[in-house]
Chains A and B, each alone.
Chain A
Amino acid sequence: MSADGRVEVGPAAGFENGDAEIVQVGRVEVGVIKAGGEFYALRNECPHDGGPVCEGMVEPRLVGEWSGPGERVEQHYDDDQCIVSCPWHGWSFDVQTGEHIGDDGYVLPMYDVVVDDGVVYVNEG
Chain B
Amino acid sequence: MIDPKEHTVVDCDWHYADTFTQIAPYMPEPWKTKYQKSGFGDTGVKQNLAAFFPASTGSRANYGKIQREFSEYPDGGDTKEDVVAGMDELDIDVSLQISHLILAMGGVTADDRRVESFVKGYLDYMLEEVLDPDEGIYGLAPMPYHDIDASMDVLDRVEDEEAITGVVFVTAGASPPLGNRKYDPIYERCEEMGYPVVYHTGGSGLDEYVRAGYQDMIETHTLGFLESNMSQIVSVASQGVPEKFPDLDIVFMESGVTYIPGLVSRLDEEYLKRSEEAPLLEKRPGEYITDFYFGTQPLEVSARPDLLELCFDMIGTDRLLYASDYPHWDFDSPSVITDLPMIDDEDRKDILGRNALEVFDL
* A→B interface (CB under 8 Å): 48, 61-64, 66, 69-73, 75, 89-92, 100-103, 106
Contacts and interface: CB of A to CB of B under 8 A. Distances in A.
Contact of A89 (B240, B244, B273): B273
Interface residues of B, number: 21
Contacts of B284: 102-103
B279 interface: yes
B276 A62 contact: yes
Interface string B276-302: 101111011000000000000000000
A100 B272 contact: yes
B276 A72 contact: no
A69 B192 CA distance: 13
Given A72-B181, A101-B275, A102-B272, 12 more contacts: A61-B276, A63-B279, A64-B279, A69-B244, A70-B181, A70-B182, A71-B181, A90-B274, A100-B272, A102-B271, A102-B284, A103-B275
A103 B284 CA distance: 7
A102 B274 CA distance: 9
B252 interface: no
Contacts of A48: 272
B187 interface: yes
Contact of A102 (B185, B188, B240, B275): B275
Contacts of B271: 102-103
A90 B280 contact: no
Nearest to A92: B275
Interface in B163-206: 181-182, 184-185, 187-188
Contacts of A70: 181-182, 184-185
B187 A69 contact: yes
Given A102-B271, A103-B272, A69 B280 contact: no
Interface string B238-252: 011000100000000
A64 B272 CA distance: 17
Contacts of B281: 102
Interface of B: 181-182, 184-185, 187-188, 239-240, 244, 271-276, 278-281, 283-284
A45 to B, nearest CB: 16
A101 B272 CA distance: 8
Most buried by A among B240, B276, B283: B276
B275 A75 contact: no
Contacts of A92: 275-276
A69 B273 contact: no
24 contacts: A62-B276, A62-B279, A64-B279, A64-B280, A66-B240, A66-B280, A69-B181, A69-B244, A71-B184, A73-B181, A73-B239, A75-B279, A89-B273, A90-B274, A91-B272, A91-B273, A100-B272, A100-B275, A102-B275, A102-B278, A102-B281, A103-B271, A103-B275, A103-B284
A26 B131 CA distance: 73
Most buried by B among A72, A102, A106: A102
A69 B181 CA distance: 7
B240 A73 contact: yes
Nearest to B279: A64
Contacts of B276: 61-63, 92, 101
B185 A69 contact: yes
A68 to B, nearest CB: 8
A71 B275 CA distance: 21
Contacts of A63: 276, 279
